[in-house]
């Protein structure tokens, strides 16, 4: 199985996250994508605004409501929510998650999704060379962004797991902007799936 791991706070999950997952699945021929919400991100001083349960529930709603793009069908069962990091608690380190998945699914070929804008933080990650020994990095560049310097990450990778560049269309969405809009009473319908917007309103999140 070719398995893509997509980590993040998902606070909340938005249309940009879903577009990134679609692009990686299509261009890297992934059998499954696991959305893996963090417990606490080591490089972020503030924890998630929504609870762990709420973030997981919003991910399920987003995945279940996400339509396939015309001409690009996606099996509904190929996207899943992985709660390994939330279940483990504390700081969430990617290397620990990949090691655990390798133990539980020794036959799976792992891919790790990284936004090109996150490359600058890679030297600060825990055991980055081990991360890229365990999983092939998929570097995602949004349309309009400059070409990332793949050599930075390639030097950390083995010959077997060299990074791959994934192109995706530009989507103007970020979790921080969505939280700001909710707090300001502005609409978010263009930024998140409808069930997620309804969930945020129902539970009065981000106000």
- d(CA 47, CA 9) in angstroms, rounded, equals 9
Q: Look at residue 75 and give its three-state secondary structure.
A: coil
Mean per-residue pLDDT, 15-39:
96
Window from 21-25, 47-51, 101-105, 155-159 with minimum mean pLDDT: 155-159
- Sorted by where each begins, the domain ranges of the chain are 2-174
Looking at per-residue confidence, does 175 or 71 come out higher? 175
Does residue 71 surpass a pLDDT of 70?
no
Query: What's the pLDDT band for 45 if we cut at 50, 70, 90?
Result: low
DSSP 31: S
Using one digit for the tens of pLDDT, what is the confidence trace for 97-108? 999 999 999 999
CB 146 within 8 A of CB 39: no
Give the pLDDT of residue 46: 74
The Cα 153–Cα 150 span in angstroms is 6
Please tell me the total number of residues recorded for the chain in this structure. 207
Residue-level pLDDT at 70: 52
Compare 86 and 119 and report the one with higher pLDDT: 86
Confidence of residue 72 (pLDDT cuts 50, 70, 90): low
Query: Across all residues in the chain, what is the average pLDDT?
Result: 91
**165 with 148: CB under 8 angstroms?**
yes
Average pLDDT over residues 178-205: 97
CATH architecture of the domain with residue range 2-174: 3-Layer(aba) Sandwich (3.40)
């Amino acid at each position: 199985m070719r398995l893509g791991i997509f980590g993040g706070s998902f606070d909340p999950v938005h249309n940009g996250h879903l577009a990134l997952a679609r692009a990686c699945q299509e261009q890297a021929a992934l059998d499954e994508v696991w959305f893996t919400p963090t417990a606490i991100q080591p490089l972020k001083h503030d924890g998630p605004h929504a609870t762990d349960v709420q973030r997981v529930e919003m991910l399920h709603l987003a995945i279940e409501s996400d339509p396939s793009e015309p001409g690009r069908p996606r099996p509904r069962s190929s996207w899943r929510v992985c709660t390994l990091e939330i279940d483990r608690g504390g700081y969430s380190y990617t290397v620990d998650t990949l090691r655990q998945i390798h133990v539980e699914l020794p036959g799976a070929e792992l891919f790790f999704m990284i936004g090109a804008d996150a490359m600058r933080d890679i030297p600060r990650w825990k055991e980055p060379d081990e991360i890229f020994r365990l999983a092939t990095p998929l570097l995602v560049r949004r349309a309009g962004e400059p070409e990332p310097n793949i050599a930075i990450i390639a030097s950390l990778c083995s010959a077997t797991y060299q990074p791959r560049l994934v192109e995706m269309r530009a989507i103007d969405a970020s979790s921080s902007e969505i939280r700001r809009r909710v707090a300001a009473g502005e609409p978010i319908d263009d930024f998140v799936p409808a069930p997620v917007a309804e969930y945020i309103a129902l539970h009065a999140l981000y106000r």
